[in-house]
Structure 1
Amino acid sequence: MDFIQGTSREQILLLPESIDDFITEDNPVRFIEAFVDSLPLKKLGFKSLPNTGRPPYRPADLLKLYLYGYTNAIRFSRRLEREANRNLELIWLLKKLKPDFKTIADFRKNNANSLQQVCRQFTLLCKEENLFGSEFVAIDGTKIQAVNSNQKNITERRLKRDLEAVDKKVSDYFRDLDFYDQQETSHHKKVSVKELKEKIKYLEKEKKKLEEQEDQLRSSPDGQISFTDPDSRAMMMGGVTDVGYNCQTVVDDKHHMIVEHEVINNPTDQNQLHAMAHRAKTVLGVKKLDVVADRGYYNGYDIMKCEEDNITVYTAKPETSANKKHGLFHKDLFIYDSKKDTYQCPAGETLIFRSVLNEQGRMTRYYVTSACRQCPLKSKCTRGEQRRLSRWEHDDVMDHMRERVRGKPDIMIKRKCLVEHPYGTMKRWWDQGYFVMKGLRNVRAEFSLSVFSYNFKRAINILGVKRLVQAVS
């Protein structure tokens, strides 16, 4: 049976083959080359490595290396060094340059802010090529692990537990010492007196160390300290507590491409809605924008700011009613009359305005009725003498938003289709569910490279390499 035969490795060629012949016209590395060469790297703040006796590498070459690496799920400097020596695409892209891993790692560390600007430049290019619909976006966050284990993160609760454990051990060892002091012979002892004293001495050092950590913890604004990566924080990831960062993205509806992104160390998504929506609106250059987010972003002040900024918000209200958990009537069953400023309860009685209080900067109005005592539905409504309803002074904004969500019940399902795809691609397909650098500044650069890679692959699938090369030529 005949098979396709390869060429002999010892074959002598009359003319050597060109590396460029192996890189097709639609190879993505051709766009990386053209894109980086079109960037004003000095203006973006890129710094060359210091001269150590020979000329340093051009920032453009090392930037090309990183863009190629993250696009192909290669993030570690040692792996990039190895690929630069054997990968034909990188040999072509770097023109046979072979930087060592230390040079590669230092470039990313020294140009963290500039790498974020590269991602922004590509986002603006996508906008010029009409890849964004600029009408409807979805906001969501995901947690990505930091270079910091749970053992290297302490909280007040954990520190208290560790101190109690040390005190208990010391107490047990002292009790054993007292017991051994009463023994005339020591051949039957499981632990010698000398060993016990050494253990007590070690535990006293540990306790002193924990007390020093307790002093540091008091000065921490969020009540926790991470030792390996000081900027990382403990947060819920997939139902368990781990140490990491909260990564935010804004995804456009047209081609599911990321418009804006950010990395924070706040475990919750609250107070991020307006900030991310406003940044996306600025990047897209539009006067109005529709935004959908999950209930983790539900924040009255943020939604009010969005309304003032001509941003229409769709987000579900979280279930926080204690009455509903106890089988009592929840607030949604009470109908508000904006003209009369009253509520109508399920029994048909009217709750009138009674008082207003300033609760942590929020002006809250309270409504009551005198009909509760004789009401036949009282056992289903309240456990106290009468039911009292509270209303924030800007709750009319929240009411309008809830009506919008009820009018478009499928919009929350659409949100999942928009925002989950980028995270699934990055964290599962590209194995970028953890950072390889430490510090908020550096992980922001890392996430920017991941966002660039995602948008880059989407743009290639939509426009093709040749069209993108023409756009930057």
Structure 2
Amino acid sequence: DHSAFSRARNERFREGDVVRRVFEHIVEACIVAGLVGGEGFAVDASLIQADANKQRSIAGQDWRRDRDPARSSRAVKEYLATLDDTAWGAASDVVPKFISLSDPAAQWTGAHKGPAFFAYSDNYLIDVKFGVIVDVEASRSIRQAEVGAARTMIERTEERFGLKPERLAGDTAYGAAPMLNWLVEEKGIAPHIPVFDKSKRDDGTFSRSDFRYDPTRDVYHCPSGKRLGTSGTVHEGKTLLYRASKLDCDACPLKPQCCPKEPSRKIPRDIHEHARDVARSFAGTEGFETSRRQRKKIEMRFAHLKRILRLGRLRLRGPRGAQDEFVLAAIAQNLRRLASFVA
């Protein structure tokens, strides 16, 4: 009877995390079979529609987080328990436009450039040798939560299997400065990831890339050779400002192309800009292009998930329900890969 599986999953085996243990056992079998190289990983996320609809939702500002968990459904209890997790409530302070009453952890999103819907993000970390999924994690469907899930998966894979890749392939969503700094400075992993950069100007004036940075003196040099220095004050906890002298800018013939509406030019520099420079140094190299091609294997896993396994919409609700379905699907995909290559 289907209720036996449901009650066993939610009552008997919930605290034992049996689904995760089965998944890790299959990954270990793939490692023993030589299907995991451990040299290069790829990370990505895909939206999976939640079992929730717009008709049974309320505006985000009307949701009360202080409701009594004892009088709430299981999905609501799980949501309230994840408010401090980096992949869930703590990922962003932005209030969603709508919140589902039946599954409040599901994110209202219009990321597919079509009608908006409630969804979860299925995050995969794969080994690029044969596309084996080495870790899987459910999260909210926003960039900050997906980046937090990626960090969780990398650390857990190193802890459980002793695997730490030399390089990580990903798209621009993982190219923000804090993530790149974590990879370069803390983990020692080469980020084969495009840098998330909005410094390019489209009004005809000089962009930040037109200014040359001198790391030995910690100054910028403008196109006319003048120096821009910083006071060392960190703004908004992440940015240093390098300012030119007003006297230099007033006498500069390039001022109309540099700062026509300001008395002097200033350049913002992220405190983690060194890690961004490291990531930029890989762009265009042979290894970066190899990683870009190999990253398509993770897109193939998601295509297989939706087209063959038919996981386009979740059947279970709440963060744990989504996690169970995603892990079970990853188990099936790894078993198919193991059987195919071993045979």
**Bin for the TM-score computed over the shorter chain:** 0.7 to 0.9
Q: Report the Cα offset of residue 452 of structure 1.
A: 0.6
Match of 2:225, as an amino acid?
E
CA distance in 1: counterparts of 2:111 and 2:339, whole angstroms? 32
CA distance in 1: counterparts of 2:8 and 2:66, whole angstroms? 36
1:107 matches 2:8: yes
Instruction: Give the aligned partner of residue 268 of structure 2.
Output: 390
| Residues 248 and 417 of structure 1: CA distance in aligned 2, closer, same or farther (over 3 Å) | same
- 1:264-296 C-alpha deviation (Å, 9 max, x unpaired): 125223344433322333344145531111111
CA distance in 2: counterparts of 1:150 and 1:311, whole angstroms? 42
Correspondences of 1:155-194 after superposition (within 5 Å) = 155-156=59-60
Instruction: Give the aligned partner of residue 64 of structure 2.
Output: 216
CA distance in 2: counterparts of 1:373 and 1:412, whole angstroms? 47
| Residues 417 and 327 of structure 1: CA distance in aligned 2, closer, same or farther (over 3 Å) | same
Unaligned 5+ runs, structure 1: 1-99, 160-213, 465-473
Match of 2:297, as an amino acid?
L
Identity %: 21
**More divergent stretch after superposition (422-431 vs 335-344):** 335-344
Correspondences of 1:286-325 after superposition (within 5 Å) = 286=163, 288-307=165-184, 308-321=186-199, 324-325=201-202
Q: Report the Cα offset of residue 252 of structure 1.
A: 0.7
1:380 matches 2:228: no
| Residues 434 and 401 of structure 1: CA distance in aligned 2, closer, same or farther (over 3 Å) | same
1:125 matches 2:125: no
Instruction: Give the aligned partner of residue 447 of structure 1.
Output: 326
- Contact kept in structure 1, 2:169 and 2:291, CA below 8 Å: yes
Q: Report the Cα offset of residue 229 of structure 1.
A: 1.0
Instruction: Give the aligned partner of residue 134 of structure 2.
Output: 259
Instruction: Give the aligned partner of residue 308 of structure 2.
Output: 429
User: Equivalent residue of 1:120, what SS?
Assistant: helix
User: Equivalent residue of 1:354, what SS?
Assistant: strand
- 1:380-418 C-alpha deviation (Å, 9 max, x unpaired): 323322220122333222212211224345146325412
1:238 matches 2:139: no
Q: Report the Cα offset of residue 127 of structure 1.
A: 1.3
Instruction: Give the aligned partner of residue 148 of structure 1.
Output: 52
- 1:38-68 C-alpha deviation (Å, 9 max, x unpaired): xxxxxxxxxxxxxxxxxxxxxxxxxxxxxxx
- Contact kept in structure 1, 2:37 and 2:129, CA below 8 Å: yes
Match of 1:398, as an amino acid?
R
- Contact kept in structure 1, 2:219 and 2:230, CA below 8 Å: no
> What value does the CA root-mean-square deviation take over the aligned residues?
2.5
Unaligned 5+ runs, structure 2: 68-88
- Contact kept in structure 2, 1:234 and 1:267, CA below 8 Å: no
- 1:245-269 C-alpha deviation (Å, 9 max, x unpaired): 1111111111011111100125223
- Contact kept in structure 2, 1:354 and 1:368, CA below 8 Å: no
| Residues 332 and 271 of structure 1: CA distance in aligned 2, closer, same or farther (over 3 Å) | farther
Question: As a proportion of its length, which structure holds more helix?
Answer: 1
| Residues 373 and 407 of structure 1: CA distance in aligned 2, closer, same or farther (over 3 Å) | farther
CA distance in 2: counterparts of 1:256 and 1:344, whole angstroms? 45
CA distance in 1: counterparts of 2:63 and 2:106, whole angstroms? 19
CA distance in 2: counterparts of 1:398 and 1:305, whole angstroms? 11
> Which protein is bigger by CA-based radius of gyration?
1
Q: Report the Cα offset of residue 373 of structure 1.
A: 2.4
- Give the TM-score, by structure 2 length: 0.80
